[in-house]
């Protein structure tokens, strides 16, 4: 019992320290973020270089081993009949480990959530926009999707054909090399994005990718619909560039895709940008959304329909649970909209459209 009490006190101390770091970053942003990004990048990129040569995610394997160890030690508690004291000791031990991981994650990367928006960093003004501006931007991205989609090889059912994951991964990395020529904030990532091993389980959770800061690995679900995979790769690589917010990572993924000279990268970026803007427009003005939709090429329509069918097979309770966990995580780092922030990239895309057309 004393061991459990000691661990409980240690958990409280670690959580207080984590909260202090978050409060300091939030309250002293101007001073703090003059130094923190360079520190965060140095740590996470050094880790990424260490594990870059592995064909799988070291962090994903570590997570599975930790879960197995937790189950093994719990079984030992019951096998040795250690009673309530043993169970409490196990629970507080797991809790302490989780709290220490949270502290390390927050210290090395998580505090980037409190930094300035990437659009502010890049000098792209984002404001509130009218439905008319949203409709104009959606039309712009539709036309981009149509144009880039015309360059794609397509199957008999009209869906686009993409290269294998191993071919797309270095292209996604190279897209940031190209983006860095326009915006010096970015640099060539230290490693290519990697496949998640548990792809089907991840699909059932509704996740298409993860940035694993403990090893600096940008990981992508290879079971995501193929037209989205290059874009998702760039999204996770954007997190590795310290773009912590989801809407910011989505926006940078678009810029990176379009900076590439590769047709597959460009189509995936334009296709994804159109979908985000169209969904926003559909919620604001259905008549305008229908007008934009009517101008879609057959190929882009085929990919959108195939995307819906692909993800519909995984809908269920698991997605709802993961969404709630992800929502709590995002709100915990001051993304007040939670998972809804995935859609707020529409504001960034409208700003980019206006910047390109004024």
What is the pLDDT averaged over residues 12-30?
93
DSSP 124: -
Render pLDDT for 25-35 as a digit per residue (tens, 0 to 9): 998 888 899 99
What is the pLDDT averaged over residues 54-66?
95
Of 60-74, 80-94, 116-130, 163-177, where does mean pLDDT reach its minimum?
A: 80-94
**How would residue 336 be classed by pLDDT, with cut points 50, 70 and 90?**
low
Contacts for 343 with CB less than 8 Å, ≥ 6 apart? 247, 276, 279, 280
Which whole-number Å values give the CA distances from 3 to 83, 86, 90, 214, 344, in the listed order? 14, 9, 10, 28, 46
List the structure tokens of 330.
């995002």
In the predicted structure, residue 328 carries a pLDDT above the cut 60? no
Taking a C-beta distance cutoff of 8 angstroms, is the pair 76, 87 a contact? no
In the predicted structure, residue 43 carries a pLDDT above the cut 90? yes
Which pLDDT does position 339 carry in this prediction?
38
> Please, what is the average pLDDT of the chain?
90
- Sort 323 into a burial class: Cβ within 10 Å, 0-12 / 13-18 / 19+: middle
- Tell which residue, 117, 138, 60, has the closest CA to residue 249: 117
- Helices 246-259 and 229-240: crossing angle, nearest 10°? 120
Render pLDDT for 125-176 as a digit per residue (tens, 0 to 9): 998 889 999 999 999 999 999 999 999 999 999 999 999 999 999 999 999 9
For a pLDDT cut of 90, what percent of the chain falls above it? 77
In DSSP notation, 8-63 reads HHHHHHHHHHHHHHHHHHHHTHHHHTTTHHHHHHHHHHHHHHHHTT-SS-HHHHHH
**How would residue 84 be classed by pLDDT, with cut points 50, 70 and 90?**
confident
**How would residue 86 be classed by pLDDT, with cut points 50, 70 and 90?**
confident
Taking a C-beta distance cutoff of 8 angstroms, is the pair 229, 222 a contact? yes
- Judging by DSSP bridges, how do beta strands 209-212 and 194-195 pair with one another? unpaired
In the predicted structure, residue 323 carries a pLDDT above the cut 70? no
Render pLDDT for 188-214 as a digit per residue (tens, 0 to 9): 999 999 999 999 888 888 889 999 999
């Amino acid at each position: 019992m004393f061991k459990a009490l000691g661990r409980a006190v240690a958990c409280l101390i670690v959580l207080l320290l984590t909260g202090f770091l978050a409060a300091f970053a939030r309250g002293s942003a101007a001073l703090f973020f003059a130094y923190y990004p360079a520190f965060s990048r140095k740590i996470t990129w050094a880790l990424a270089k260490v594990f870059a040569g592995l064909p799988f995610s070291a962090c994903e394997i570590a997570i599975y081993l930790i879960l197995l160890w937790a189950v093994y030690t719990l079984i030992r508690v019951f096998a040795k009949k250690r009673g309530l004291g043993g169970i409490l000791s196990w629970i507080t031990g797991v809790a302490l480990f989780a709290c220490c991981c949270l502290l390390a994650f927050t210290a090395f990367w998580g505090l980037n959530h409190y930094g300035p928006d990437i659009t502010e960093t890049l000098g792209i003004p984002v404001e509130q926009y009218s439905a008319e501006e949203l409709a104009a931007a959606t039309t712009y991205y539709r036309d981009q999707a149509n144009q880039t989609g015309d360059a794609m090889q397509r199957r008999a059912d009209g869906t686009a054909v993409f290269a294998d994951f191993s071919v797309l991964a270095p292209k996604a990395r190279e897209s940031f090399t190209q983006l860095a020529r326009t915006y010096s904030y970015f640099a060539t990532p230290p490693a290519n994005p990697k496949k998640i091993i548990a792809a089907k389980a991840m699909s059932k959770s509704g996740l298409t990718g993860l940035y694993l800061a403990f090893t600096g690995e940008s990981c992508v679900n290879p079971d995501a619909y193929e037209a989205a995979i290059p874009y998702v790769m760039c999204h996770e690589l954007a997190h590795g560039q310290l773009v912590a917010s989801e809407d910011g990572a989505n926006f940078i993924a678009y810029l990176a895709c379009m900076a590439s000279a590769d047709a597959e990268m460009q189509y995936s970026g334009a296709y994804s940008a159109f979908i985000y803007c169209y969904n926003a427009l559909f919620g604001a003005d259905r008549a305008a959304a229908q007008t934009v939709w009517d101008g879609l090429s057959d190929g882009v329509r085929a990919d959108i329909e195939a995307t819906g069918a692909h993800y519909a097979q995984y809908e269920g309770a698991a997605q709802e649970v993961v969404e709630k966990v992800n929502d709590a995580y995002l709100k915990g780092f001051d993304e007040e909209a939670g998972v809804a922030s995935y859609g707020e990239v529409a504001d960034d895309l409208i700003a980019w459209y206006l910047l390109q057309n004024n």
